[in-house]
Amino acid sequence: MSTPKTERRNVAQNRKARHAFDLLETFEAGLVLLGSEVKSLRQGRSSIEEAWVAFDEHGRAVLMGAHIPPYEQANRQNHEPTRPRPLLLHAQEARKLRQKVKERGLTLVPLQLYFQGPWCKLEFALGRGRRVHDKRQAVRAAEDRREAARAIRR
């Protein structure tokens, strides 16, 4: 018996990621959050534009640099806005990702932060940074595709 698909509610997006990186593979992971962070996210206030995924000394994946502002009603039990937040990945999956990042000069780039049912999840990708001329070529290719689509519609 399969469970029904729950709706996905987007909280934050990293729009620059697809422009600045060649994305090779995407992954999904849960986040370890505090109560005040969840409440702040449910208000739709967060930013992952400057965030990245790194590995701590124990080999666990951690979301770094993501900004989740303090929840006003939390008072003294509030959280630090840019604290490292561990990702919930299987140990084997984390090991494979760490190896790929180490060997090939790749990086893990957060793409989206969203709620799926009651769970807060992060979509991130394994990517390689683009150089300036690569970005120009990507923009040119996108413009060519749009131009061709317009011509076909006419």
**4-40 pLDDT tens trace:** 567 888 888 888 888 888 888 899 999 988 888 888 8
Which amino acid would we find at residue 91? A
pLDDT tens digits along 63-90? 998 888 888 777 777 777 888 899 999 9
Q: For the purposes of burial, counting CB atoms within 10 Å of the CB of 102, is it exposed (0-12), middle (13-18) or buried (19 or more)?
A: exposed
Domains annotated on the chain, with CATH: 9-153 (2.40.280.10)
Average pLDDT (45-60) is: 88
pTM over 0.85: no
Which amino acid would we find at residue 30? G
Beta strand segments in the chain, E: 8-13, 21-31, 52-55, 61-64, 85-88, 107-116, 119-129
The DSSP H or E segment spanning 136 is helix 132-153
pLDDT tens digits along 87-106? 999 989 998 988 888 877 78
Which amino acid would we find at residue 116? Q
Alpha-helical segments (H) within 22-118: 35-42, 91-104
